[in-house]
Amino acid sequence: MSNISDERRQELEEKANDIRLSIIDMLLVAGSGHTAGPLGMTDIFTVLYFYILNHKPSEPTWPERDRVVLSNGHICPVLYATMAHAGYFPIEELKTLRKFGSRLQGHPHREWLPMLETSSGPLASGLSQAVGMALAEKIDVGTTGGKRIYCLLSDGELESGNIWEGAMLAGKNKLNNLVGIIDRNNIQIDGYTEDIMPLEPLADKWRAWNWHVIEIDGHNIEEIVDAFNMAKTVYEKPTMIIAHTIPGKGVKDFERDYRWHGKPPNKEEAEMAIRELRSLGGKITGHHND
């Protein structure tokens, strides 16, 4: 049973809805970008930035901050929108997504947006980067405490071998300060993951590399909060949270359709999506609403 209050849960659900609205708006203005993944991961990012992370948006380079590594860089609209709503930069800047000279490129660029921990674009490199950060933190402060490293992953990128090299190293070194989150939405650009390169039994694979595995409904705020808090109690191994999500979550015409993986809405589609999100308010979390 989660310790989060009903009031706090509702605040997070409403914030997630605001972030989804920003995602639609920025993709429409950009005229390019990814829709399904950002909408599907909004609840995870909302809990992370507004409830879990030890960070200071007014001081992005605060040395004691937790680190967030976005391995699946193509879902950066949700990262940018969440960071803007958290106060890292003005929300109005979101409308510069993918524009020439913008800090908000189609894949995150660390040198252009210093609030980011890494640049990401080529899939499957993020976990190894996060493992390096977690290992360095262990060397610096030992086995007790220190900063936590959170690595966001797509399920499609798990088809790449580099992921499993990082997984082995993390398990070997018992990096309990490392938490991975897999967006298990079952789609990738060419279709459904289980048709292209089956991943199941996915949880067993991570357990085999000595990770603690938690499976959750990636749209249930209480389950998300509980999973992140549970990860803090695991002392002998890294934790992988497998978040079962709905790609395109919140807009019925987008949901579960792999064709929305890599395309933005046009004006008519965006207006429809905004109307739907506004009508639902903060009531779109949890698979029970589908």
> Which residue do the tokens 């524009």 mark?
99
Give the CATH number of the domain where residue 251 resides: 3.40.50.970
Q: Which pLDDT tens digit goes with each residue over 200-234?
A: 999 999 999 999 999 999 999 999 999 999 999 99
162 within domain boundaries: yes
- Round to whole Å and give the CA distance between 94 and 76: 11
pLDDT at 160: 95
pLDDT by residue (tens digit) across 161-175? 999 999 999 999 999
Residues 67, 161 contacting (CB under 8 angstroms): no
Chain segment 233-245, per-residue pLDDT in tens: 999 999 999 999 9
Q: Place 87 in a pLDDT band, splitting at 50, 70 and 90.
A: very high
Query: Is 22 in a helix, a strand, or coil?
Result: helix
Asked if residue 241 belongs to a domain, the reply is: yes
Quote the CA–CA distance of 141 and 285 in Å, as a whole number: 38
Question: Any long-range contacts for 285-289 (C-beta under 8 Å, 24+ apart)?
Answer: 285/13, 285/16, 285/43, 285/219, 285/220, 285/221, 286/217, 286/219, 286/220, 287/217, 287/219, 287/220, 287/244, 287/246
Please report the pLDDT score of residue 121 as a whole number. 83
Look at residue 271 and tell me if it is in a domain: yes
pLDDT of residue 288 exceeding 60: no
**Chain centroid to CA 246:** 13
Q: Are 280 and 250 in contact (CB under 8 A)?
A: yes
pLDDT of 290 reads 36
Question: What confidence tens digit (pLDDT) does each residue in 31-58 have?
Answer: 999 999 999 999 999 999 999 999 999 9
Residue 31 within a domain: yes
Predicted pLDDT at 284: 54
Q: Is residue 282 part of a domain?
A: yes
Question: How does the average pLDDT of the chain come out, rounded?
Answer: 94
What is d(CA 239, CA 72) in angstroms, rounded to the nearest whole number?
18
Which residue in 171, 179, 164 sits closest to 130, CA to CA?
A: 179
Residue 272 domain boundaries: 6-289
Mean local confidence (pLDDT), 142-170: 91
Q: Are strands 149-154 and 67-70 parallel, antiparallel or unpaired?
A: parallel
**Quick check: 30 and 107 in contact, CB under 8 A?**
no
Evaluate whether residue 1 is within a structural domain: no
Query: Helix, strand, or coil here: 249?
Result: coil
Q: Is residue 54 part of a domain?
A: yes
Bridge partners of residue 153, in order along the sequence: 182
Do 184 and 246 form a contact (C-beta atoms < 8 A)?
Answer: no
Q: Please count the structural domains in the chain.
A: 1
